[in-house]
C-alpha cells in the first residue's frame, strides 16, 4: 500500500503508524527553520538534475530532527528563481520543496515526481473561493445557495477545459482572475466585414 500527502499530515507519530502498518509513504515536509537548516548543509555535489523543469535539481539525505526517535529519508527539490522574480527575505536564489519518505528504493527524482502527482483538492477549493466568488454564499435559501454552488463549479470546469483545449501551455496553471482579465474581460467592438462578424480588439492587446 502507498500513501502520498501534503505537509498537513506531517508528524512523527503518523509516520511511525504508517511504518508499523508497512505502508510506503511520501509526505510533504514544512520548510521550518530546522528543515531549512539541514537543507543548507547540502553540498553542491549532492544535487542532481530533476525532471520537473529546466534548471530544477533534487537531493536526498537521511536525518533525525531533535524531537524524533529515528532518522528518516528526506527528498528536496529546488527550482531557480526566475529572472525578475522577487527574491525571498533571505536572498535565496532557489525555491525549495521537501518531503519525507520511508521508500528506500526509488531515486530522489522518481519519488519527487510521484509525490507531486498527489491529489490537490484544497487548491481547487481555494480557486473557487478566491477566483469565482465561492467565499460567500449570497442567499438565505439552501436551494438557492446550492444552485449558486453548482453554477460556480460549472464555471470552474469550463475554465479548466478552456485552459486544456484552447489556451497555450503557458496558461494551464493560470488562476481564474488572470484568465478573466487576460481573455474574458477584454474591451472590443463587434462589426461586420462583408458577410462576416468581426471582433476588433485594441492594437495594443497582447494576444
- Among 117-126, 177-186, 192-201, the range scoring the smallest mean pLDDT is 117-126
Q: Taking residues 64-78, what's their average pLDDT?
A: 94
Strands (E), the chain: 2-5, 24-29, 48-49, 57-63, 72-80, 94-101, 188-193, 196-201
Higher pLDDT, 90 or 200: 200
Domain boundaries, the chain: 2-116, 121-201
Tens digits of per-residue pLDDT, 98-157? 999 999 999 999 999 999 887 667 778 888 888 888 888 899 999 999 999 999 999 999
* Residue 115 grid cell: 509525490
pLDDT at 135: 86
Q: How confident is the model at residue 165 (pLDDT cuts 50, 70, 90)?
A: very high
User: Is the pLDDT score of 203 beyond 50?
Assistant: yes
* Cα 112 from Cα 97, distance rounded (Å): 9
Q: Which of 6, 15, 21, 31 is nearest to 115 (CA)?
A: 6
Percent of the chain at pLDDT exceeding 70? 93
Tell me if the domain spanning 2-116 has CATH number 3.90.350.10. Answer: yes
Strand ranges across the sheet with 57-63: 2-5, 24-29, 94-101, 72-80, 57-63, 48-49
pLDDT at 45: 95
Average pLDDT over the chain reads: 88
pLDDT at 83: 64
User: Is the pLDDT score of 89 beyond 50?
Assistant: no
The DSSP code sequence of 84-138 is: TPPPPTT--SEEEEEEEE---SS-HHHHHHHHHTS--HHHHHHHHHHHSSTTS--
Tens digits of per-residue pLDDT, 12-31? 999 999 999 999 999 999 99
Q: How confident is the model at residue 187 (pLDDT cuts 50, 70, 90)?
A: confident
Amino acid at each position: 500500500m502507498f500513501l502520498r500527502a501534503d505537509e498537513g499530515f506531517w508528524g512523527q507519530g503518523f509516520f511511525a503508524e504508517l511504518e508499523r502498518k508497512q505502508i510506503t509513504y511520501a509526505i510533504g515536509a514544512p520548510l521550518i527553520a530546522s528543515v531549512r537548516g539541514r537543507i543548507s548543509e547540502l553540498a553542491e555535489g549532492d544535487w542532481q538534475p530533476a525532471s520537473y523543469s529546466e534548471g530544477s535539481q533534487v537531493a536526498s539525505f537521511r536525518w533525525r530532527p531533535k524531537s524524533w526517535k529515528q532518522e528518516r529519508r528526506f527528498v528536496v527539490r529546488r527550482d531557480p528563481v526566475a529572472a525578475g522574480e522577487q527574491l525571498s527575505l533571505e536572498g535565496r536564489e532557489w525555491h525549495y520543496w521537501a518531503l519525507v519518505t520511508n521508500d528506500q528504493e526509488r531515486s530522489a527524482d522518481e519519488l519527487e515526481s510521484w509525490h507531486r502527482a498527489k491529489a490537490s483538492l484544497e487548491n481547487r477549493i481555494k480557486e473557487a473561493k478566491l477566483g469565482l466568488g465561492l467565499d460567500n454564499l449570497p442567499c438565505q435559501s439552501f436551494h438557492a445557495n446550492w444552485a449558486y454552488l453548482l453554477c460556480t463549479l460549472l464555471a470552474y470546469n469550463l475554465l479548466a477545459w478552456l485552459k486544456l483545449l484552447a489556451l497555450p501551455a503557458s496558461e494551464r496553471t493560470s488562476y481564474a482572475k488572470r484568465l478573466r482579465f487576460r481573455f474574458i474581460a477584454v474591451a472590443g467592438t463587434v462589426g461586420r466585414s462583408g458577410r462576416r462578424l468581426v471582433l476588433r480588439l485594441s492594437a495594443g492587446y497582447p494576444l
